[in-house]
Structure 1
Amino acid sequence: MNHKNVLLIKLISAILISFFAFRLFILHSSEFSPIFASVTGKFEARFLPPEIIVPENEDLIPQDIEVEKCDLFAGKWIPDSVGPIYTNKSCGSLIDGHQNCITNGRPDLDFLYWKWKPHDCLLPRFDPRRFLQLMRHKSWAFIGDSISRNHVESLLCMLSTIEEPVEVYHDMEYKSKRWHFPLHNLTVSNIWSPFLVQAAIFEDSNGVSTASVQLHLDRLDETWTSLMPSFDYAIISTGKWFLKSAIYHENAKLVGCHNCQEKPHIEELGFDYAYNASLHNVMDFLAAEDNSKGTVFFRTSTPDHFQNGEWHSGGTCKQTEPVSDEEIEIKDVHKILKDIEIDQFKRAVREKTNQDGGNLKLLDFTRMLLTRPDGHPGEYRQFRPFDKDKNAKVQNDCLHWCLPGPFDYLNDVILETIVNG
């Protein structure tokens, strides 16, 4: 056989092999393709995972990967180029005017570009779509003072990037409100109860008192206790209101006061006495399994950053960036409040519940927020306060938090706590 014939035979063999291989591929393809088309056509919406839309970032953790357990409350603020997921304009209707710092004219925006980073693990960004999916047919409550209102507005703004909430209730003073997310059947309530115990308060909308508060330390405020069984999740907090002048009652008897200068004959017990007694009763109620059906978070009180005075004495806060733990000390009054909160929480968990504390959990955000003196409205509590007079003297707010701002990152921690314990 000559060389040309050998080449011809090899060529014919190669063609035949290619032909049969192609036939075999077509045969198997025809067997599977109709089934694949049928499945995707008929069951696509049922079986395909929902689309998750979040800001692109380097620390997004896939939902099917277990996140390392760590102390989410111990960490530091690091620069973040992404920034908030909502703006003062996109959520302007939900933000209290005093906390809408950018609309009010705050000129610096660098405070928006920091994120919370725990020391020992990654913290996924708050995913509003995932939160709404997890909370379908659930109810949430934020119970406490104006900081609780600050918090609920932060959460609503983040969720509004996926679905707009509908306000379905408010009380006569617009201090307690309720919203509904109809597409997910999620209800979010804000319940005004600044002391958590029964209180008669005599002050105007600017916080100016005409008489001392009358506090019943052993009687919880039924405004919130009566509703607790209906909530799947509740975040409860108090704190700074106990620094106000007040007269204390226990067992229907007057027992003392704090800073009650108009009645010098009453024994001065100090705000710490009232805070300890009130939280003792609050924690006992929260730790009792029969009083709530869901998960209850107690949030520690948030520090203010007034310098050179306080709310009514010219205090200011002009910082424009976070500080480190080493650069700031907690004020004595905040330390007293925090110590009482931790002591009463631990006591209630130890005495009233099982080893893990049942459904009562602690959100210790004090140190996290202590290092954000730049996050307050400051002099931009009012709308464009210096438009008419650059030297105008204005009320500074170094207690509440700008929205958007550092307070939004509390929701990152809360969602991670819910998902991974």
Structure 2
Amino acid sequence: MKQSWWRSAYNQNHLVFKLGISILFVGFGFRLLLTQSPSVIPNLSDNNINTPVVDKNEKSIPSDFAESPKYSYQIHPKDDKSERCDIFDGEWIPNSVGAPYTNNSCRWIESNQNCMTNGRPDAEYLYWRWSPKDCELPRFDAKKFLETMRDKSWAFIGDSITRNHLQSFICVLSQVEDAIELFHDTDFKNRKWQFPSYNLTVSIIWSPFLAKADTFEDINHIPSAEIQLHVDVLDKTWTEQFHTWDYVLFSSGKWFVRTAIYYENNTILGCHGCQGKNHTDLGFNIAYQKVINNLFDFIMNSHRKSMIIYRTSTPDHFENGSWSNGGTCDRRVPAKEGEFELGILNKILREVELAEFAKAEAQASEKGKKLKLLDVMPLSLVRPDGHPGAYRYFYPFAKDKNAKVQYDCLHWCLPGPIDQWNDLLMKLVVDG
């Protein structure tokens, strides 16, 4: 049968037959050439530093707040409208330069994140840099940034991770000119600095929900009662000052997974995790969606032509427990992409914020608003080595090497991986 077909094809058109055979042999030769080509692996020893190696026998990091199922999730959403390099899609590579400042050269680091002063014995976590796959990401140029931001005002609005980032931001800029503090409230959650030679002001506004909320917790963030969250009312702590800022960075997320009673129009709408209460458990995603939607509506309807940056939520890296029941984070090297999965609760937060940002971005282009996404989740997920851990305290094992200490696997050491969020920020607002 096969021979008859070939003979028929040959008899019908001898030229077509010869052409087909030629193409077949060319394709076979090309495939053979590719399969025999050796893979090129860069020699990391050329970097002249000791490159840490990931222990493949270590357990995967569990979900941030609960055990999470396996699933497939695209952590790098692609923008089909643009062929520009995605600075959020990359890997951490060895970097002998280290951090842009030290625990001694910046006086604005909170003690809980001052890992080196608190006695953290290793420093390898400082010698990595984020490298996008398809382009170069320049380091934050503090001098250029200050010149560009002359006579401008910045505000960082959000939770303790936002404050963590703000301190990194201030520390990097202070290597050119030390900031002068103009204001702080009684618990130092709302503060304002100035770089006098440039007339640049930078503020931090404590607003973990970005909305009106009453919270009840102790110094270790252990709640004593349900949070009362008004999902339809934004926090006036920042809304009343919004018109004064040229650049505003918003971020939220983590607080929404806590037990809370939700209000809308001053009436109980439902709750999240409120067992024993006669309320409908709506899930925190509903509250997060409503608040972020209201946030972007406020921005779109504002007459202020500020540049708005929305920072995505970040993971923690607790293992063998959580914040309040013995969780730890003892890893000392970055992970490879795909080694750790995004926890189910972080996945929900991420889906909400990316969807709401996409809607706002479409409106922003129509209304002439400047809106940027600072997507730090991908690069943060693979840095389990960058948290204070036990070194949120001053020399926690000085008296007892086996002391039981509460670990911080949520915030970031300063200096540390979070410093490179500023590289991304500069790319977005100055070089973008």
Give the TM bin, normalised by the shorter chain: 0.7 to 0.9
* Rounded Cα–Cα distance in structure 2 between residues aligned with 1:297 and 1:118: 20
Q: What does 1:6-405 correspond to in 2, within 5 Å?
A: 69-91=84-106, 93-261=107-275, 263-290=276-303, 292-350=304-362, 352-354=363-365, 358-405=369-416
Given that residues 283 and 348 in structure 1 are in contact (C-alpha distance below 8 angstroms), is that contact kept between their aligned partners in structure 2?
A: yes
Give how far 1:348 is off: 2.1
Give how far 1:358 is off: 2.5
Aligned to 1:22: none
Q: RMSD of the alignment, in Å?
A: 1.5
* Rounded Cα–Cα distance in structure 2 between residues aligned with 1:224 and 1:354: 24
* Rounded Cα–Cα distance in structure 1 between residues aligned with 2:144 and 2:89: 25
* Rounded Cα–Cα distance in structure 1 between residues aligned with 2:403 and 2:296: 45
Rg (Cα) greater in structure: 1
Given that residues 372 and 428 in structure 2 are in contact (C-alpha distance below 8 angstroms), is that contact kept between their aligned partners in structure 1?
A: no
Higher relative contact order (CA 8 A, sep 6+): 2
Given that residues 230 and 293 in structure 1 are in contact (C-alpha distance below 8 angstroms), is that contact kept between their aligned partners in structure 2?
A: no
Aligned to 1:415: 426
* Structure 2 stretches lacking a partner, 5+ long: 1-46, 48-82
Give how far 1:346 is off: 1.0
SS of 2:187's partner is: coil
* TM-score scaled by length of structure 2: 0.79
Give how far 1:135 is off: 0.8
Given that residues 300 and 367 in structure 2 are in contact (C-alpha distance below 8 angstroms), is that contact kept between their aligned partners in structure 1?
A: no
Displacement over 4 Å in runs of 4+: none
Q: Which has the higher helix share?
A: 1
Given that residues 179 and 187 in structure 1 are in contact (C-alpha distance below 8 angstroms), is that contact kept between their aligned partners in structure 2?
A: yes
Give how far 1:283 is off: 1.7
Q: Deviations over 1:3-40 (max 9, x none)?
A: xxxxxxxxxxxxxxxxxxxxxxxxxxxxxxxxxxxxxx
Given that residues 301 and 366 in structure 1 are in contact (C-alpha distance below 8 angstroms), is that contact kept between their aligned partners in structure 2?
A: yes
Give how far 1:228 is off: 1.2
Give how far 1:306 is off: 0.8
Given that residues 231 and 293 in structure 1 are in contact (C-alpha distance below 8 angstroms), is that contact kept between their aligned partners in structure 2?
A: no
* Rounded Cα–Cα distance in structure 1 between residues aligned with 2:423 and 2:359: 28
* Rounded Cα–Cα distance in structure 2 between residues aligned with 1:131 and 1:181: 12
Given that residues 288 and 353 in structure 1 are in contact (C-alpha distance below 8 angstroms), is that contact kept between their aligned partners in structure 2?
A: no
* Rounded Cα–Cα distance in structure 1 between residues aligned with 2:354 and 2:428: 18
Given that residues 396 and 405 in structure 2 are in contact (C-alpha distance below 8 angstroms), is that contact kept between their aligned partners in structure 1?
A: yes
Aligned to 1:44: none
* Rounded Cα–Cα distance in structure 1 between residues aligned with 2:392 and 2:142: 28
Q: Which amino acid aligns with 1:278?
A: V
Identity %: 53
How many correspondences in the alignment? 351
SS of 1:195's partner is: coil
